[in-house]
Structures are given as C-alpha cells and as structure tokens.
Amino acid sequence: MHTRTRRTSLSLLSFALALSLAPLAHANDAQAPDGPRALPGSLPLIPAPAKVERLDGAAFNVRASTPVWASGEAAQRVAGQFTTLLRNSGGPALQITPGRGTHGIAFVLDPSLKTGAEGYQLRSQGNGATVRAATEAGLFYGAATLSQLLSGGSNGVLPALRIDDAPRFSWRGLMLDSARHFQSLDEIKRVLDAMAEQKLNTFHWHLTDDQGWRMEIKRYPKLTAVGSCRIPAGDGGRDPVTGAERPYCGFYTQDQIREVIAYAAARHIQVIPEIDVPGHATAAIAAYPELGTLDTPLKPLSEWGVFPNLFNTEESTFQFLENVLEEVITLFPAKYVHVGGDEAVKDQWEASARVQARMREVGAGNEMEMQSHLIKRLETFLEQHHRRLIGWDEILEGGLPPEATVMSWRGTDGGLKAASEGHDVVMSPVTDMYMDYLQTPSDNEPPGRPLTTPLGRVYGFEPVPDALARDKQQHILGLQANMFTEHTRSYARLQHNLFPRLAAVAETGWSPRERRDYADFLARLPSQLQRWQAMGVAYAQTPFQVELDSHDDRKAGTATLALRTPLNYEVRYSTDGSPVTAQSPRYSTPLTQPLPVTLQAATFFNGQPLASAASRFELSATSLLSRNDQQLAMCPGEGKLLLRLEDDGPADGERAIFNVNIFNPCWLWKDADVDGIARLHVRAGQIPYYFQLAHDEPQRTFSPARSAHGEMDVLNGRCDGTPLATVKLPAKPGADGFITLDAALPRSVKGTQDLCVRFTGDTRPTMWVLDTLTLVPR
C-alpha cells in the first residue's frame, strides 16, 4: 500500500522487553530545566577532557599558513590524520612539515610519558600548540581534540591552555546491525570516521540474524548464496512493473571485511564480529537445513520480532559453528568474538525428541543448560585460538565459563550480576543505549523502536551501578550503543538514529563521572553540530525542532498554541509570515491566536539557528477537525504494543508511516469536541503484518469480527463496550491502498468525548491501519 502525502517514520525490538521495560523508558533522564548552560572555563569539546587548565597568555591563531610539525612515521601519520580531520570539520587546510620548528602545531610521540594506552597531553600558547602521547592511539585522540578546538565556530583561535586527558573506560562502543538492513562499505567507513572523531574505539558488527547472513564463509558458500537474500513483505518485495519477486540481498566478501578492519584500525577502532547462536539462526538454517531442528524448509525472514528457529544440538552442528568461527578468527584480529546468545526461544528444542536425547547425552538438565553447554564449548574453542568469548546477558543463564565477557542489554542487572561474579562486562541496556528507539515524540521521527530514548536519558546513563562492590568495579569495561536496523532502510535514517545521541555515549565513555554535566554538554553541542555539517553527517533534526500543542475553541474561532522543544534551547517565533530570526519574538508562554494562523518557530543558541529550517504550523477551523494517526493516542486497556510502522511500498523511495498498536489496533482522540458533529470520516489502509512474537502471542486482544471482513467501530472512551457507530470493512482497500469509511454519530453524542476507533478481526497477513480521522459538522 502507498500513495500517501506526509512525513517520515520508526521500528521494534524484543517484544517481551519492550513491554516489560516500557515504564522505565521515560525515567531518570538527565535534566537541564533551564536549558544549555556552559560551566566556567568550558571548551567546545565532546567528549569533555579529564583535566583542563586555562592559562594566562596570548591565544594562538591558526591560519592556512600555520605549519604542522611531526618527526617519525607514527607521528607523521597522526599529523596527516589531523590535517584531514580538521579540513573535513570545517577548519583550515594545513600542511605537514617534517621535523620541529618554533612556531606552529607539533605532534610528539614519546613512549616515556605516563599518559597511558589512550591518553595525551595538549599544550597551547601564543606561538603554537603541541600534542604529546606515549602511544599512537593517544596521539590520535589528542589530534581529535585539537581539531575540535580549531573548528565548530572557533575561527581557528586557540586559547592558552593545558589539557591532560585519558579515557574513563577502555570499551567505548557502537554495535551496528548489518543483518536486518545492509550498509555499503562507504557507509560503514563514514560511521567509523564519525566514531573516531568522538573517540569511540569499538565497532561491534552484527553480521548474522534471521533476516540475513552477511559474512562470506569460504567453507560454507550457501550461507551467502542463500542466506544473504530475502523477499521483503508486500509491495517492497515485488517489481513495480512486472510483479516479479524482488529480493533484498547483500553480504561482505572476506576482502571487504579486511578492508573495513584495516580502515577501523587506522582510526584505533577494534572490530568485534558477532555470529549469533543458538537463536537468530533462520538465514543459516535456510542455507543448510540440516542445522535446524525441523524438517520444514526455511527462508531468510522478511518479518521482525522473535523467532523459534534455533540451531540444533548435534555434534555436526557444533562442528559447523567451530568451522565458521575458525574463519572469523582468521579475519578478525580483535581479542573478542561475540556469539550472541540472546532471545533463543526453546520451543523447538523442547518439542524435539532428538534434542532431548542429546541433552541427556551431554548431561544438560534443561534447555538453558543445553545452551550453556554450547556456549562453554565455543568458549573453549575460542580460548584455544587465543580469543575471548563475549555474549548478550542471556549467556549467564545455565552457567558461564569464567573467562566469558557479558554484554548486558536487558537493563543493568545482568551486568551487575556478572561483574559481581568476576566476569568482565560491557553495559548496553535497552533502556538507555538502544539507538533505534525514537529520539523525540515528533511526527518527523523515522522508523525506530516503539519507546522514546531522548538525548538526556542517553547522557544520564551511568555504566557502573552504585550497588556494585568497589573491588568489582574494574570488571565494567565500558559501555556500548546498539543500533538494530529492522526498519532503518537507508543511511540517512541510520545517521538520524545515531546522531546526536552517539556524542552523549562518547562523553559517558571517555569523560570522568564528575566532569559530566548535561547543561554544559548542551552548550557544547552546537559547535559539534557545525562540525557534523562540515563532515556531511546528517544528524537528527528532531531534537532541535519546535513542536506544537494546540487547543482550539471552535466557538470563539481561536487556538491556544503551546510550543516545546526537546532540549530546552531558546525558541523564537513569528505569526505574521516573516522568517524566524534571532531577532524574532522569544517564546515564553502559550499564544492565543485567531484562526486561521500560520506559526513558524525555531530554536537558537548564541544567536544561531540549530535546525536546518524553522518548524511551520498552519491551523484553521477546518484543519483542527482532522487528526492523523501520529496525533492520536492508543486506546486504554490491555494489550499494548505501539509501533511506528513503515508502509510496504513503493519499492523505492519514501514510504508512509503509521502509528499502530499491533496487539489491538485502536486509536484514541481524547477530548474531541463533537458538538454539531454529524459524522466521522476515517481514511484507512492495509499494510503487511510482518511480526512473530514468540511467547508474547497470547497478549493479542484483537476484537472478534462480527461480519465477513470485520468492522470499523467507533466507541466512547475505550476500545470495548457497545460501539457508537459501526461500518463493515471491505475485503481489501481501493486501488491506491486506502479507503474512506463514513460513520454517522448518534445525535445523543454531544460535548467533549474520548473517541476510540478500532478495527476488528484478525486479518493477518495484512492489517488495517488508520491514516486520518476527520470530524464532519452537520
């Protein structure tokens, strides 16, 4: 279905966790109630350095003629990276000069310094600046700091100062899912560039899942020949001209993987591969059916959610996994190999007589112990090859080898337990570190997860739990942002999801806990936005846009307009059609305006606009009678899983987005003024229902259909009870994928009402979605 005019979109995760953790996703955000506020002596740097001292003396003015000095291969290599980064960040183009002079910028590698593995010293005075470090990595991070000081609006003016800096954590990571949606080599490299500029040092590469196997394995060519292609659901999986199947394919050859690893290493980023076991295995089983527990042939999935398909427990399958890991180890030099271990629904193992017999053979008392047996087997194999196993926190269940490292995603409790038991831990909780959740409640958010993880919440995350004993705190290696890509079809959407939140992750990973201050971070962020603009990083606009809450008085012909912005930057506005500038009126309290009215508003910091364009709102007596699905709420009651779902077509280009509760498709217009309203017009369409929810299936509460194809019901206040109006649904929508349904309201319905619109019946493999709800006067 397609042909819809408006906006952008979002996605989902482990459904069980999305439900159970939903109340947590809005708690404990870092707060800056008065907006951005720079601390005394603050510099426009992200992440904030450990120690900064402003010095008396003249500033150093960097121009295109300023020389860059470096001696030795490593220092010259870093100097070259510095000049490239500075130029790409909007600073001047500088030239490297071998040796050392008395004026200019110098990079000095001195192994006798006590700066640590990634630390550095930076000194600046009137005649120049010097970066020193004991290691090339430290020198590189010093170069990144100096580049920031000379860009982002500084005009190349460097104050006299001394910086002594080193990271708080050794693991400062980003996980990118290339299995659900595939990124090109150029896109991967651009992500690595942005990571390096923010001093992130670990790229966790999610290469296998139910929807695709993305890594070439020479010994098992079908893994990519079969497992790297799927047929997308609905119109997206068909050629728009011929109607033929249109596969979605992609994988990385081993040479391409080596290229990515080398590119990352040059930026001091380790690449951690993930081969997921025993769940998330559908693509592998589709390629080699003997790896599964069922006789039914499988295909790489075009659906999202949690699936029951697991690797079986045969010795031959264990050997297959070890053979795969052998090629992985040959390619990836990093110490760690990630084996997944998450969301392995055990239904097929429970139902398989052969798996149950195999459990008895190996002495596993239950299915979790069987999974633990597999993890221990792989851990032993990796240890024999001088590697360490890391997995999601489910690997704790059933027992864990002492050398295994835990990545805690289901909150922080798993990490706390693992660290208390002496395991190393990387904190990456779904509540704080998942970049595919929405950044804001804006209609302009692209596809992502159903909950909201705003910038303040990401910044406020503390990786070391207060409850962790002091002598165990060294087991917290650091933190990691996770970017799953179910609905992140494009690189533009990937950038939106990552930025600016990745800057908050970087500061938490690098800066001392006592140096972190959210209001100060927001004051430094606009300089980083300028650098990203120069670098071509398409960061999210939504955190810097203005949102409108309006309350209309139809009888008076007015509307009260309340403006809000997620990050509490200054808001300026106009209602007379003039462009919004730093001299426009500053918003402070809601505005009451006669209808019709066109309102424009924008956020500013130090007189500079933060979004690429002002937000524009056009309101009239007619427009206030309509709301789209994103302006409506979920109906109250049981069975809630709100998702922002993308349409299935067109095959290429932008698609419409729908907010829908897939457990109970029902939309709420709260406090609707229905005085004088005769009818409701509902524009509705159908999209594919492409979810498997494993053990969450019983939570569905579809209202039963009362006719052949179900009904659209209009109810008062809840999606249960006796409908105020009912319209029978057709078998399918019109040629454009939509249909307009007309429902007459009883004359007895007056005043302010909470109107619920629901669709009845289980219509899978498609589902009805509401596009717009319009009140029609008598």
Tell me the sheet residues that pair with 594: 558
The count of structural domains within the chain is 4
Residue 701's pLDDT is 79
Domain boundary (497, 512, 535) is at 535
Note whether 122 and 138 are within 8 A (CB).
Answer: no
The CATH number of the domain holding residue 671 is: 2.60.120.260
Residues 349 and 420 in one domain: yes
User: Does residue 32 belong to any structural domain of this protein?
Assistant: no
Residues 525 and 558 in one domain: no
Residues 591 and 689 in one domain: no
Residues 429 and 512 in one domain: yes
290 assigned to active site:
no
The answer, yes or no, to whether residue 6 has pLDDT greater than 60, is no
User: Does residue 9 belong to any structural domain of this protein?
Assistant: no
- pLDDT, average across residues 25-39: 65
Q: Is 516 helix (H, G, I), strand (E, B) or coil?
A: coil
The answer, yes or no, to whether residue 176 has pLDDT greater than 70, is yes
Of the listed ranges 320-334, 340-354, 709-723, the one predicted with least confidence: 709-723
Domain boundary (557, 579, 610) is at 610
pLDDT digit string, tens, across residues 85-107 = 999 999 999 999 887 777 999 99
Active-site entry in 206, 268, 280, 373: 280
- pLDDT, average across residues 11-36: 44
Closest CA to 200 of 474, 498, 591: 498
Active-site entry in 193, 209, 520, 648: 209
**pLDDT tier at 415, thresholds 50, 70, 90:** very high
User: Does residue 588 belong to any structural domain of this protein?
Assistant: yes
The CATH number of the domain holding residue 111 is: 3.30.379.10
Residues 263 and 395 in one domain: yes
Residues 121 and 197 in one domain: no
Separation in Å, CA 523 to CA 20, 458, 518, 519, 674: 35, 16, 9, 6, 45
Active-site entry in 343, 367, 507, 720: 343
280 assigned to active site:
yes
343 assigned to active site:
yes
User: Does residue 1 belong to any structural domain of this protein?
Assistant: no
Pairing of strands 476-483, 425-427: parallel
What are the structure tokens assigned to 430, written together?
């779904």
pLDDT digit string, tens, across residues 472-493 = 999 999 999 999 999 899 999 9
Beta strands in 565-688 (DSSP E): 570-574, 591-594, 597-605, 608-609, 615-619, 626-628, 633-634, 642-646, 657-661, 666-673, 677-688
Residue 31's pLDDT is 58
Percent of the chain with pLDDT over 90: 80
Residues 431 and 389 in one domain: yes
Residues 160 and 175 in one domain: no
User: Does residue 43 belong to any structural domain of this protein?
Assistant: no
Q: Within a 13 Å sphere around the CA of 446, how many CA atoms are in the beta-carbon half?
A: 23
Query: One-letter amino acid identity for 616?
Result: R
- pLDDT, average across residues 359-373: 96
The CATH number of the domain holding residue 226 is: 3.20.20.80
Residue 82: give the domain boundaries: 51-165
Residues 723 and 575 in one domain: no
Full 3-state SS string of 521-546: HHHHHHHHHHHHHHHCCCCCCHHHCC
CA distance 299 to 282: 7
pLDDT digit string, tens, across residues 270-293 = 999 999 999 999 999 999 999 999
- pLDDT, average across residues 485-512: 96
Residues 244 and 337 in one domain: yes
The answer, yes or no, to whether residue 456 has pLDDT greater than 90, is yes
User: Does residue 592 belong to any structural domain of this protein?
Assistant: yes
User: Does residue 42 belong to any structural domain of this protein?
Assistant: no
Query: What is the per-residue burial (b if ≥16 Cβ within 10 Å, else e) of 642-679?
Result: bbbbbbbbebeeebbbbbbbbbbbbbbbeebbbeebee
Residue 2's pLDDT is 47
pLDDT digit string, tens, across residues 186-240 = 999 999 999 999 999 999 999 999 999 999 999 999 999 999 999 999 889 999 8
The answer, yes or no, to whether residue 467 has pLDDT greater than 90, is yes
- pLDDT, average across residues 625-644: 84
Residue 726's pLDDT is 96
**pLDDT tier at 142, thresholds 50, 70, 90:** very high
User: Does residue 88 belong to any structural domain of this protein?
Assistant: yes
Domain boundary (535, 564, 584) is at 535
pLDDT digit string, tens, across residues 684-728 = 999 998 888 777 777 777 889 999 999 999 998 777 778 999 999
pTM over 0.85: yes
Of the listed ranges 331-345, 443-457, 517-531, the one predicted with least confidence: 443-457
Residues 297 and 395 in one domain: yes
Residues 504 and 556 in one domain: no
Torsion angles phi and psi, residue 361, rounded to 5: -60, -40
Residue 516's pLDDT is 96
The answer, yes or no, to whether residue 22 has pLDDT greater than 50, is no
